[in-house]
Amino acid sequence: MKTDSFSLRHNGPRPEKIQEMLKTISVNSLDELIDQTIPADIKLTSELQLNNAICESDYSEHISKLSQKNKVFKSYIGLGYHPATLPAVIQRNIFENPGWYTAYTPYQAEISQGRLEALLNYQTMVTDLTGLELTNASLLDEGTAAAEAMLMLFNSRSKEQVKRNAVKFFVSVEVLPQTISVLKTRSNPLGIELIIGNHETFEFTSDVFGAIIQYPAMNGEIYDYSDFVTKAKNNDSKLVVAADLLSIALLTPPGEWGADVVVGTTQRFGIPMGYGGPHAAYFATKEEYKRAIPGRIIGVTIDADGNRALRMALQTREQHIKREKATSNICTSQVLLAVMAGMYTVYHGESGLKYIANKIHN
């Protein structure tokens, strides 16, 4: 015996329930309910003017012809955020795998060698691309990474700089606006004076301890910063470069032309824009700052049996040990997204990254 009672019970209200609800609100029919709720000035009184139905293949052909009318221009919008494609194998095995569901670095190294290996891979990727010796296991975003770089250089000033009250930090107008906003927020309570201006006309003075520039610039231009770098070094001012990590697969790495710190986001490494986040930020610097760098660092060591092992290194810098004397208040990271960015590099390889960067450029 056929019955439709099962589908009626599970798909919307049954006719008798509809009548019961209409009676409760003193309405005779659904049409009357619509007449009472939809304002007359926006209600369509005529029949919809629809084209005749067409089959799927005809519709695909129609849509294809429409799309050919589009005018495709190069896009310079985004301010550091751009569409990216995440390989399905990374999405399925990492992003959708609960075993990786954490933003934090693993404190219990004995049971976390796999995650530590993935983070070491991420760190290796960042150092290779930036041309610097040391990096951490990610920060929160480009703005906070830039602020951490400014604070690290401020706290690492020489005795002579402290004596002459070098508290000024130059910020290029080409730095992304959201980064400048974070720099303003973080600098004010610490007595750091920001100087926002044109790097091509700026003249260093003895009270400037550091500077930050964007590479490529916010407008997409690739500046030759050699003169600016020379001026900074002659003034003993340290240099932060906020760099598009994918672009330096093609361009000369900032570490090779004078950067003391390189920061940025890894969003372009397969991470969707996500309406602005989250995305793992990278932070790379010179070996001399290993006691001052913010964030977690994954290092290689040996275990009790003499085998290669991984652990978090130089933890005496950090807040959970040094408390108020820590080099930074940063006590978290974006590990899941950093792992994904690292695996994106493994998936594509060096030649693949250069191909993608060339494709974007062209």
CATH code of 293's domain = 3.40.640.10
What is the pairing mode between strands 193-197 and 208-215? unpaired
Q: Report pTM.
A: 0.79
Give SS3 for 13. coil
Tokens for 150? 């400014």
| pLDDT tens digits in sequence order for the chain, 362 residues long | 666 777 777 777 888 889 999 999 999 999 999 999 999 899 888 888 888 999 999 999 999 999 999 988 877 788 999 999 999 999 999 999 998 988 788 878 888 899 999 999 999 999 999 999 999 999 999 999 999 999 999 999 999 999 999 999 999 999 999 999 999 999 999 999 999 999 999 999 999 999 999 999 998 899 999 999 999 999 999 999 999 999 999 999 999 999 999 999 999 999 999 888 899 999 999 999 999 999 999 999 999 999 999 998 888 777 777 777 777 877 778 999 999 999 999 999 999 999 999 999 88
Residues in the chain: 362
Q: Is residue 44 part of a domain?
A: no
Q: Is residue 293 part of a domain?
A: yes
The amino acid occupying position 332 is: T
**Alpha-carbon gap, residue 144 to 318, rounded angstroms:** 17
Q: Is residue 41 part of a domain?
A: no
**Alpha-carbon gap, residue 246 to 83, rounded angstroms:** 13
The reported pLDDT for the residue numbered 1 is 60
Instruction: Count up the domains in the chain and report the number.
Output: 1
Give me the DSSP letters along 114-144.
HHHHHHHHHHHHHHHHHT-SEE-S-BS-HHH
**Domain carrying residue 126:** 88-361
Say which DSSP state 57 is in: H
Q: Is residue 15 part of a domain?
A: no
Query: Which residue is it, tokens 């599970």?
Result: 10
The reported pLDDT for the residue numbered 81 is 92
**Alpha-carbon gap, residue 184 to 147, rounded angstroms:** 9
**Alpha-carbon gap, residue 146 to 149, rounded angstroms:** 5
Residues 6 or more apart in contact with residue 20 via CB below 8 angstroms = none
Q: Is residue 46 part of a domain?
A: no
Give me the DSSP letters along 154-200.
HHT--HHHHHTT--EEEEETTS-HHHHHHHHHHHGGGTPEEEEE-TT
**Alpha-carbon gap, residue 339 to 126, rounded angstroms:** 12
Q: Is residue 225 part of a domain?
A: yes
**Alpha-carbon gap, residue 145 to 281, rounded angstroms:** 7
Q: Is residue 39 part of a domain?
A: no
How far is CA 124 from its chain centroid?
A: 18
The amino acid occupying position 77 is: I
Q: Is residue 25 part of a domain?
A: no
